[in-house]
Amino acid sequence: MYGQRQSAEPAVGHPERVTITNVSPQLDGGRYAIKRVIGDEVKVSADIVADGHEVLSAVVLHRPDGERRWNEVAMTPTENDRWEASFRVSSVGQHVYTFQAWIDAFKTWRRDMIRRVETGQGTSVDLLIGAELIARAADRATGAESTELQRRADAVRASAERDPGFAAEQALDEQLARLMGKYPDRRLASVYEKTLPITVDREKARFSAWYEMFPRSCSPEPGRHGTFRDCIARLPYVAAMGFDVLYLPPIHPIGCDHRKGKNNSTVAGPDDVGSPWAIGSRDGGHKSILRELGTMEDFHALVGAARRQGLEVALDLAYQCAPDHPYVREHPEWFHIRPDGTVQYAENPPKKYEDIVPINFDTEHWRELWAELKDIVLFWIGHGIRIFRVDNPHTKPFSFWEWLIAEIKRDYPDVLFLAEAFTRPKVMYELAKRGFSQSYTYFAWRNARWELAEYFTELTQTEVKEFFRPNLWPNTPDILTENLQLGGRAAFMARAVLAGTLGASYGIYGPAFELCENRSIRPGSEEYLDSEKYQLRYWDISRADSLKDWIARINQARRENPCLQSDASLKFHSTDNDNFIAYSKSTDDLSSVVVVVVNLNSHQKHSGWLTLTLEELGLREHEPYQMHDLMSDARYVWQGPRNYIELDPGVAPAHVFRVRRRIRSEHGVDYFE
Amino acid sequence: MYGQRQSAEPAVGHPERVTITNVSPQLDGGRYAIKRVIGDEVKVSADIVADGHEVLSAVVLHRPDGERRWNEVAMTPTENDRWEASFRVSSVGQHVYTFQAWIDAFKTWRRDMIRRVETGQGTSVDLLIGAELIARAADRATGAESTELQRRADAVRASAERDPGFAAEQALDEQLARLMGKYPDRRLASVYEKTLPITVDREKARFSAWYEMFPRSCSPEPGRHGTFRDCIARLPYVAAMGFDVLYLPPIHPIGCDHRKGKNNSTVAGPDDVGSPWAIGSRDGGHKSILRELGTMEDFHALVGAARRQGLEVALDLAYQCAPDHPYVREHPEWFHIRPDGTVQYAENPPKKYEDIVPINFDTEHWRELWAELKDIVLFWIGHGIRIFRVDNPHTKPFSFWEWLIAEIKRDYPDVLFLAEAFTRPKVMYELAKRGFSQSYTYFAWRNARWELAEYFTELTQTEVKEFFRPNLWPNTPDILTENLQLGGRAAFMARAVLAGTLGASYGIYGPAFELCENRSIRPGSEEYLDSEKYQLRYWDISRADSLKDWIARINQARRENPCLQSDASLKFHSTDNDNFIAYSKSTDDLSSVVVVVVNLNSHQKHSGWLTLTLEELGLREHEPYQMHDLMSDARYVWQGPRNYIELDPGVAPAHVFRVRRRIRSEHGVDYFE
Q: Is A52 left (phi over 0), alpha (psi -120 to 50) or beta?
A: left
- Residues of A that are catalytic: 391, 420
Q: How far apart are CA B435 and CA B53, in angstroms?
A: 43
Distance CA B562, CA B568 (A): 12
pLDDT at A217: 96
Please name the amino acid found at residue A389: R
**What string of H, E and C letters represents the secondary structure of B580-598?**
EEEEEEECCCCCCEEEEEE
| Per-residue pLDDT tens digits for A374-400 | 999 999 999 999 999 999 999 999 999
Residue A330 has phi, psi (to 5 degrees) of -80, -30
In terms of DSSP H, where are the helices of A436-534? 449-461, 482-502
Residue in A closest to B343 by C-alpha? A125
Between the alpha carbon of residue B589 and those of residues B381, B504, B563, B569, B618, the distances in Å are 38, 18, 10, 11, 9
Contact A349 B116 (CB under 8 A): yes
Record: contact B396-A51, CB cut-off 8 A: yes
Work out the widest C-alpha separation in chain A, in whole angstroms: 108
Q: What is the pLDDT, as a whole number, of residue B62?
A: 98
Residues B408/B390, Cβ–Cβ less than 8 Å = no
Q: Which one of B20, B24, B32, B49 would you mutate to disrupt binding with A, by most A Cβ within 10 Å of its Cβ?
A: B49
What's the length of chain B? 673
Cβ neighbours of B348 in A, within 8 Å: 53
User: In degrees to the nearest 10, what's the CA dihedral of B292, B293, B297, B299?
Assistant: -160
Q: Which of B16, B366, B394 sits opposite A51 (nearest CB)?
A: B394
Overall residue count recorded for chain A in this entry: 673
Judge: B81–A426 Cβ closer than 8 Å, yes or no: yes
Nearest partner of B494 among B504, B484, B503, B485, judged by Cα: B484
What are the chain A neighbours of B161 within 8 Å (beta carbons)? Answer: none
Query: Residue B447 in 3-state DSSP?
Result: coil
Confidence label for A129 from pLDDT (cuts 50, 70 and 90) = very high
Rounded to whole angstroms, the Cα distance separating A192 from A100 reads: 6
Determine the Cα–Cα distance for residues A29 and B253; give it in Å rounded to an integer: 48
Separation of alpha carbons A278 and A270, rounded Å: 16
Closest listed residue to residue A138, CA positions, set A130, A128, A149: A149
- First-to-last alpha carbon distance for chain A, in angstroms, is 50
Rounded Cα gap, residues A616 and A613, in angstroms: 6
Please say if the pLDDT value at position B35 is more than 50.
yes
Please give the pLDDT value at position A472: 98
Q: Tell me, what's the pLDDT at B665?
A: 82
pLDDT in tens, A28-49: 999 999 999 999 999 999 999 9
Query: Is A10 a residue whose pLDDT tops 80?
Result: no
Task: Say what percent of chain B tops pLDDT 90.
Answer: 93
Q: How far apart are CA A487 and CA B179, in angstroms?
A: 54
Mean pLDDT of all residues in A133-144? 97
Rounded to whole angstroms, the Cα distance separating B326 from B295 reads 20
pLDDT, mean over chain B: 95
Per DSSP, the three-state class of A570 is coil
Nearest Cβ partner for B399 among A16, A29, A350 = A16
To the nearest whole percent, how much of chain A has pLDDT over 70?
98
Contacts of A409 (CB under 8 A, 6+ apart): A93, A94, A199, A415, A435
User: Are A47 and B426 in contact (CB < 8 Å)?
Assistant: yes
* Option in B29, B51, B52 nearest A29 (CB): B29
Residue B8: band (very low, low, confident or very high) from pLDDT cuts 50, 70, 90:
very low
Position B10 scores a pLDDT of 38
End-to-end CA distance of chain B: 50
Q: Estimate to the nearest angstrom the gap between the alpha carbon of A26 and the chain centroid.
A: 16
Handedness of CA B250, B256, B261, B263 (dihedral sign): negative
Q: Which of A396, A392, A390 is nearest to A438 (CA)?
A: A390
Q: B628 in helix, strand or coil?
A: strand
Provide mean pLDDT across the span B134-160. Answer: 96
Mean pLDDT value across residues B416-430: 97
Instruction: Say what the pLDDT of residue B231 is.
Output: 98
Q: Are B276 and B249 in contact (CB under 8 A)?
A: yes
Q: How far apart are CA B531 and CA B477, in angstroms?
A: 7
pLDDT value of position A122: 82
Position B239 scores a pLDDT of 98
Using a CB-CB cut-off of 8 Å, the residues of chain A touching B79 are: none
Cα B162 from chain centre:
65
Chain A residue at shortest CA distance from B427: A49
- Which residues, listed in sequence order, are joined to residue A660 by a DSSP beta bridge? A626
Residue B644's alpha-carbon distances to A229, B295, B609, in angstroms, are: 86, 57, 5
Active site residues of B: 391, 420
pLDDT bucket at B12, cuts 50 / 70 / 90: low
Q: Strand B312-317 to strand B245-248: parallel, antiparallel, or no bridges (unpaired)? A: parallel
Residue A645 phi/psi, 5° resolution?
-130, 140
- ipTM of predicted complex: 0.92
> Could you please report the per-residue DSSP string of B131-149?
HHHHHHHHHHS-HHHHHHH
Q: What is the greatest pairwise CA distance in chain B?
A: 108
Phi and psi at residue B62, in whole multiples of 5°?
A: -145, 155
Nearest to A397 by CA among B52, B612, B672: B52
Task: State yes or no: pLDDT of B9 exceeds 60.
Answer: no
DSSP string, A190-239: EE-S--EEEEEE-GGGTSEEEEE--GGG--SSTTSPP-HHHHHHHHHHHH
Q: A303 to chain B, minimum CA–CA distance in Å?
A: 33
B635-638 and B642-647 strand pairing: unpaired
pLDDT at residue B317 in the model:
98
**pLDDT class of A152 with cuts at 50, 70, 90:** very high
Residues B502-511: tens digit of each pLDDT: 999 999 999 9
CB within 8 Å of A85: residues ≥ 6 apart: A43, A44, A45, A59, A60, A73, A74, A75, A76
| Contact at CB, B21 and A81, closer than 8 angstroms | no
Q: In this complex, which of B125, B339, B362 lies closest to A128 when CB atoms are compared?
A: B339
What DSSP line would sit under B495-544, residue for residue? HHHHHHHH-SEEEEETTTTTTT---BSSTT--SBTT-TTTS-----TT-T
- Between A and B, how many residue pairs show a Cβ–Cβ distance under 8 A? 139
Q: How many CA atoms lie within 13 A of A330 on its CB side?
A: 12
With beta carbons under 8 A apart, name residues in chain A contacting B394: 51-52
Look at residue A665 and tell me whether its pLDDT is greater than 90: no
